[in-house]
């Protein structure tokens, strides 16, 4: 619809009909420029939940799909070159076991995708892989493990998953595990990192695996950046200043500490991560169910949504988060961690799937970001961190 409107305005301009304006011309230029930049530069999104999506509800993402936010045609349209596919392990596996098995199965599924469509996908185990595959028409699939449960307290498992291509580990998820306390878990068993978690941070530095502090408690975050000899990442987190009290996001002091460490916060697109209204929506629904004396089940959720439409965020809201990081610590410490296929139907207006990155770029252009700055946000900052992690590990091995 947006492209159709732009084309109509350009037609009016071309034939001299009133209604054409300089604003329309500028809009067209910025949209065209955004699409051009999306194709010219590497786009790294550090958190896309395709593996677990396909594990639960398989589709062939090498062609257009009816469900989900990722497939090859849409990724190519949006300019996405190097998504980190999330090897997501639900927190319950810490209690039940089986996380090691599931992680290997999910990695297998990404390797199988490459095997089925070798002209469209390739695995990416290093920054060199990403760079060499750029421009080939292939999407480089990097891997990040969301939840360190599959490590099972064994450093040999860290080596195993490194050998299988995992290049970051989110230390914990929605519950505390044997590595670190979770931001969502009121039980702060370790008051940050466990003794093994502290050992694991050092081992991850030495092996060349990025450390992801999304999901961990504040104490675990500060202990991690104190121990780590290399920059860390927040693979899919947004800012607490827009969602007060939501520990899953990062506050300004944490962002400053992350920048001092040299790390990068990859902004999560989910509406509940970027606006207070959406963040509190679930709590309001639960309170309404309790007041009505009914179960907060799927039927009630549907009824509640009809009466209280979900307050979707917008593209501008996400841009506000990027602006905030840049104003606080500079352009070198922010990137993209959309959480596509991981936040349900809560994605913002204008950023609904992997075809939407040009919309983000257009918004950045309109806010005055130059091409060099935009390139840093799209991939440059994350590549810098990844290279530093690789270089440190190479020195340790030497």
Alpha carbon distance 231, 262 (integer Å): 5
- The first and second tokens of residue 20, run together, are 């054409």
**Do residues 316 and 202 share a domain?**
yes
Residue 287 belongs to a domain: no
Alpha carbon distance 6, 28 (integer Å): 6
Contact 355, 74 (CB under 8 A): yes
**Do residues 244 and 185 share a domain?**
yes
CATH number at residue 359: 3.20.20.140
Residue 4 C-beta-side C-alpha neighbours within 13 Å: 1
Residue 288 belongs to a domain: no
**Do residues 235 and 258 share a domain?**
yes
**Do residues 87 and 27 share a domain?**
no
- The first and second tokens of residue 327, run together, are 């104003």
Residue 290 belongs to a domain: no
Residue 102 C-beta-side C-alpha neighbours within 13 Å: 26
* pLDDT over 90, % of the chain: 92
385 C-beta neighbours (distance < 10 Å), count: 23
**Do residues 211 and 356 share a domain?**
yes
Total domains in the fold of the chain: 2
Alpha carbon distance 315, 304 (integer Å): 25
Alpha carbon distance 113, 122 (integer Å): 9
Residue holding tokens 């979900």? 310
What's the confidence (pLDDT) of residue 28?
73
**Do residues 115 and 205 share a domain?**
yes
Residue 345 belongs to a domain: yes
Residue 109 belongs to a domain: yes
Range of the domain at 24: 1-40
**Do residues 14 and 52 share a domain?**
no
Residue 280 belongs to a domain: no
Nearest partner of 84 among 58, 45, 115, 129, judged by Cα = 45
**Do residues 120 and 14 share a domain?**
no
**Do residues 120 and 11 share a domain?**
no
Nearest partner of 210 among 261, 174, 173, 156, judged by Cα = 261
The pLDDT tens digits of the residues spanning 124-156 come to 999 999 999 999 999 999 999 999 999 999 999
309 C-beta neighbours (distance < 10 Å), count: 9
Can you give the pLDDT of all 398 residues of the chain as single tens digits? 444 444 444 444 444 444 556 655 666 779 999 999 999 999 999 999 999 999 999 999 999 999 999 999 999 999 999 999 999 999 999 999 999 999 999 999 999 999 999 999 999 999 999 999 999 999 999 999 999 999 999 999 999 999 999 999 999 999 999 999 999 999 999 999 999 999 999 999 999 999 999 999 999 999 999 999 999 999 999 999 999 999 999 999 999 999 999 999 999 999 999 999 999 999 999 999 999 999 999 999 999 999 999 999 999 999 999 999 999 999 999 999 999 999 999 999 999 999 999 999 999 999 999 999 999 999 999 999 999 999 999 999 98
H helix intervals, the chain: 2-15, 22-40, 50-56, 72-78, 93-96, 99-116, 127-133, 155-163, 195-207, 218-227, 252-261, 271-274, 276-279, 281-292, 298-307, 315-329, 357-366, 371-375, 381-397
Residue 208 belongs to a domain: yes
Q: Per DSSP, what are the bridge partners of residue 282?
A: none
**Do residues 112 and 19 share a domain?**
no
Residue 95 belongs to a domain: yes
**Do residues 264 and 135 share a domain?**
yes
**Do residues 21 and 126 share a domain?**
no
Q: Per DSSP, what are the bridge partners of residue 84?
A: 142
């Amino acid at each position: 619809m947006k492209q159709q409107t732009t084309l109509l305005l350009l037609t009016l301009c071309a034939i001299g009909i009133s209604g054409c304006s300089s604003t329309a011309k500028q809009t067209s230029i910025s949209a065209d420029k955004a699409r051009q930049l999306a194709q010219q530069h590497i786009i790294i999104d550090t958190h896309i939940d395709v593996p677990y999506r396909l594990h639960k509800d398989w589709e062939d993402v090498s062609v257009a799909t009816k469900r989900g936010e990722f497939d090859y045609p849409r990724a190519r349209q949006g300019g996405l070159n190097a998504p980190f596919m999330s090897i997501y392990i639900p927190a319950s596996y810490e209690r039940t076991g089986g996380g090691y098995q599931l992680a290997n199965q999910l990695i297998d599924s990404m390797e199988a995708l490459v095997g089925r469509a070798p002209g469209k996908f390739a695995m990416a185990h290093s920054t060199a892989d990403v760079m060499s595959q750029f421009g080939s028409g292939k999407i480089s699939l990097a891997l990040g493990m969301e939840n360190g449960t599959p490590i099972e307290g064994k450093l040999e498992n860290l080596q195993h998953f490194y050998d299988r291509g995992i290049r970051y580990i989110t230390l914990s998820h929605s519950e505390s595990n044997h590595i670190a306390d979770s931001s969502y878990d009121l039980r702060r068993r370790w008051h940050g990192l466990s003794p093994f978690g502290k050992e694991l941070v050092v081992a991850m530095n030495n092996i060349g695996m990025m450390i992801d502090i999304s999901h961990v408690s504040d104490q675990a975050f500060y202990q991690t950046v104190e121990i780590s000899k290399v920059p860390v990442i927040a693979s899919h987190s947004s800012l607490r200043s827009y969602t007060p009290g939501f520990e899953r996001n990062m506050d300004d002091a944490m962002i400053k500490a992350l920048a001092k460490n040299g790390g990068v916060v990859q902004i999560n697109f989910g509406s509940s991560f970027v606006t207070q209204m959406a963040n509190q929506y679930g709590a309001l629904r639960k309170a309404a169910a309790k007041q009505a004396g009914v179960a907060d089940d799927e039927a009630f959720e549907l009824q509640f949504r009809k009466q209280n439409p979900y307050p979707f965020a917008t593209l501008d809201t996400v841009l506000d988060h990027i602006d905030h990081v840049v104003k606080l610590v500079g352009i070198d410490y922010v990137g993209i961690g959309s959480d596509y296929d991981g936040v349900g139907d809560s994605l913002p207006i204008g950023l609904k799937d992997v075809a939407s990155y040009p919309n983000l770029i257009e918004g950045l252009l309109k806010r005055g970001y130059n091409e060099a700055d935009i390139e840093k946000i799209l991939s440059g900052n994350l590549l810098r961190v990844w290279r530093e992690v690789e270089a440190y590990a190479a020195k340790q091995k030497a």
